Structure 1
Amino acid sequence: MSDDESYELLGFDHVLLPVGDLDEAVGFYERAGFPVGFRLDEAGIVLLKVGGETPGILLRHEEGLGCRPPAWPSARMWLEVPDARLAAEALESAGIGLLDGPFSSATGWTVEFADPWGNVVGLTDYTKRPQLGRRP
């Protein structure tokens, strides 16, 4: 693509996660602390809000997906939180098992968990380098 044909990336619209059951997915993500922005059952989608931003996580019902991790490695989506170690405690208190962490990173701490369909979510903080985070 030449320079005169290029386009500008403005930011994220939504991150889409396939799920096998909307009710089960909403219950799981609500336990994990994700508020529902809206739900359109006729379209098979639910929007989970992420902070004060308009884009969010879009759960989309996929027929036949079932309740199992996919047979392929999942992409990882990480979201910023003020304190990943506190987030890990809250997840475990809600009965959500951790895949990894909390572990130390260059910017702070991170914890990962997976939903029943194998979608991996990481919660990371910038406690070691707050100038890079959303709340310096």
Structure 2
Amino acid sequence: MSDDASYELLGFDNVLLPVGDLGEAVRFYERAGFPVAFRLDEAGIALLKVGKETPGVLLRADEELSHRPPSWGSARVWLEVRDARVAAEALAAAGIQPLGAPFPVATGWTIEFTDPWGNVIGLTDYSKRPELGRQT
């Protein structure tokens, strides 16, 4: 953005993922290790916590997805973890099949998996470049 911009990007707010069944989605993501911040069935939404940040992954029920995959490309979201290889083991232990083995990236390692509606979640670490990761 140019120097004369009237606004500045400060960070991420919620990442929205469309799902076909809110209850099934919440159970799936809980198995994957995502804690639920809140759930409003009447609104068809549930917010999953991501670290200590207020924004998170917002699941939104979409009736059109209840019987078929979306007609658009799937969302792909990567989230930081301490160790992606440990995360891969935890996913497998929870019965969630990763898309493959952990693979190296410029900052460390990444493992990806999909939810039942085709949204791709990547869990990536900064083991090769810890100075770029979140300091905990």
TM over 0.5: yes
Moved more, 57-66 or 108-117: 57-66
Identical aligned residues as a percent: 76
- The 5 Å alignment of 1:4-23 reads 6-23=6-23
The number of residues matched between the two structures is 136
Equivalent residue number for residue 66 of structure 1: 66
Are the aligned partners of 1:28 and 1:115 in contact in 2 as well (CA < 8 Å)?
yes
Rounded to whole Å, the distance in 2 between the matches of 1:70 and 1:127 is: 35
AA in 1 matched with 2:130 = P
Equivalent residue number for residue 85 of structure 2: 85
Moved more, 93-102 or 43-52: 93-102
Structure 2 unmatched runs, 5+: none
Over 3 Å counting, the alpha-carbon distance change for 1:69 and 1:90 in structure 2 is farther
Equivalent residue number for residue 94 of structure 1: 94
CA displacement at 1:95 relative to structure 2: 0.4
CA displacement at 1:74 relative to structure 2: 1.7
Are the aligned partners of 1:37 and 1:47 in contact in 2 as well (CA < 8 Å)?
yes
- The 5 Å alignment of 1:1-136 reads 6-66=6-66, 69-135=69-135
AA in 2 matched with 1:41 = D
Aligned-partner SS, 1:86: helix
> What TM-score, normalized by structure 1, do the two folds share?
0.92
Over 3 Å counting, the alpha-carbon distance change for 1:123 and 1:68 in structure 2 is farther
| Aligned-pair Cα RMSD in Å | 1.9
CA displacement at 1:62 relative to structure 2: 0.4
Structure 1 unmatched runs, 5+: none
Rounded to whole Å, the distance in 1 between the matches of 2:21 and 2:108 is: 34
> What TM-score, normalized by structure 2, do the two folds share?
0.92
